[in-house]
Amino acid sequence: MFSHPQQGIAQDDVVKLRQAAGAYLRSLREAAGLSQRNLAKAVGIEHYTFISQIESGRGRVPPAQMADWAAALGVSSREFAINLMRYYDPLTFELIFTEEVVGKLLAGGTAKSTDNAQDLEARIAKLETLLAGR
């Protein structure tokens, strides 16, 4: 059964996370030299006001469009997805990633399967337990 990725988080915290995600997206857009209108066109969104809504924390980047957004903003799709997961699905993010692994992924490296294997197995088991209880 699917549950909302931010279920179990206080509503005030969800708002703050979405606003932080919006600030992250705005900084990427500005660094890429794009207006909201230009970004909307680049990712195939008809109304540029949707970009404004996301940047102000009132919306989310649609998961099916993350690769398009990353390309338009000039960042790797992996880095983009990991960063957005921090904001959009923080509980799962914390269960999956250790700071060391995230640092390697965002630095363009790869996480070795032997890196903290026992820790990752424990985190996966905890996630499975949480999901089974829903």
**Contact predicate 101/114, CB 8 Å:** no
pTM comes to 0.67
The highest-confidence range among 4-18, 79-93, 102-116, by mean pLDDT, is 79-93
CB-hemisphere CA count at 13 Å for 121?
6
Give me the sign of the Cα torsion angle 3, 15, 87, 74: positive
| Least confidently predicted of 45-49, 102-106, 126-130 | 102-106
- Give the Cβ contact number of residue 110 at 10 Å: 10
Q: Residue 55 pLDDT more than 80?
A: yes
What pLDDT band is residue 114 in, cutting at 50, 70 and 90?
Answer: very low
CA dihedral 27, 28, 32, 36 (to 10 degrees): -80
Which residues does 12 contact at the CB level (< 8 Å), separation at least 6?
A: none
pLDDT in tens, 62-107: 999 999 999 999 999 999 999 999 999 988 888 888 776 667 766 6
In CATH, what number does 7-75 get? 1.10.260.40
Enter the DSSP assignment of 34.
-
